[in-house]
Amino acid sequence: MKKHIFLIGIILLCTQAVFTQSDLHSSHQKIEKDTDKIYEKLVEIRRDLHKFPEIAGKEKRTSKIIKEYLLSLGLEVKTNIGGYGVVGILKGNKKGRKIAWRADMDAIKFQTNDRFSFKSQNKGIAHMCGHDVHTTIGLGIANVLAKQKENLQGTIYFIFQPAEETFTGAKAMIEDGLLGLIKPDEIYGLHITPFETGVITTKPNELFAYQKTVALKFKPKADVDELKSSVKKILKELSRNKTNSKPWELQKITNREIGLLSPNTIYKDYLFFEPNLRITKVEDSTTLKIGLYETYRKKLISIPLKIKAKINKTKHKESLISVVYLQGRPTVINDRKLTEKALKTLKKIYSDKSIKRLHGQIPYFNEDFIYFQQKVPAVLFFLGGSNVEKNLVAMPHSPNFAVDEEAIRLGVKQFSSFVIERAKTN
Which residues contribute to the site for Zn ion (CB under 5 A)?
1, 129
Name the residue number minimizing CB distance to Zn ion: 1
CA neighbor of 129 nearest in space, from 197, 187, 56 = 56
CB 73 within 8 A of CB 143: yes
Question: Which among 34, 54, 59, 104 is annotated as catalytic?
Answer: 104
Closest to Zn ion by CB, 164 vs 421, is 164
Give the start-end residues of each E strand in 302-403: 320-325, 333-334, 355-357, 378-386
Give the start-end residues of each E strand in 198-338: 200-202, 205-206, 210-218, 271-273, 278-282, 285-294, 320-325, 333-334
Instruction: Report the nearest approach of Zn ion to the CB of residue 173 (Å).
Output: 16
For residues 101-125, one letter each, b for 16 or more C-beta atoms within 10 angstroms of the residue's C-beta and e for the rest, the string is bbbbbbbbebebebeeebebeeeeb
Question: How many other CB atoms are there within 10 angstroms of residue 362's CB atom?
Answer: 22
Instruction: Report the nearest approach of Zn ion to the CB of residue 404 (Å).
Output: 17
Closest to Zn ion by CB, 192 vs 227, is 192
Residue 104 among the catalytic residues: yes
Cα separation, 394 vs 194, in Å, equals: 4
Instruction: Report the nearest approach of Zn ion to the CB of residue 228 (Å).
Output: 34
Q: How far is CA 113 from the centre of its chain?
A: 24
Q: Is 80 left (phi over 0), alpha (psi -120 to 50) or beta?
A: left
Instruction: Report the nearest approach of Zn ion to the CB of residue 365 (Å).
Output: 8
Residue 36 among the catalytic residues: no
Question: Which among 34, 114, 165, 294 is annotated as catalytic?
Answer: 165
Closest to Zn ion by CB, 104 vs 114, is 104
Closest to Zn ion by CB, 167 vs 296, is 167
Closest to Zn ion by CB, 66 vs 77, is 66
DSSP SS3 for 238? helix
Helices (H), 113-185: 131-146, 169-175, 178-181
Question: How many other CB atoms are there within 10 angstroms of residue 38's CB atom?
Answer: 18
Instruction: Report the nearest approach of Zn ion to the CB of residue 61 (Å).
Output: 19
Instruction: Report the nearest approach of Zn ion to the CB of residue 1 (Å).
Output: 3
CA neighbor of 156 nearest in space, from 224, 76, 235 = 76
Closest to Zn ion by CB, 153 vs 161, is 161
Instruction: List, by residue number, the catalytic residues.
Output: 104, 165
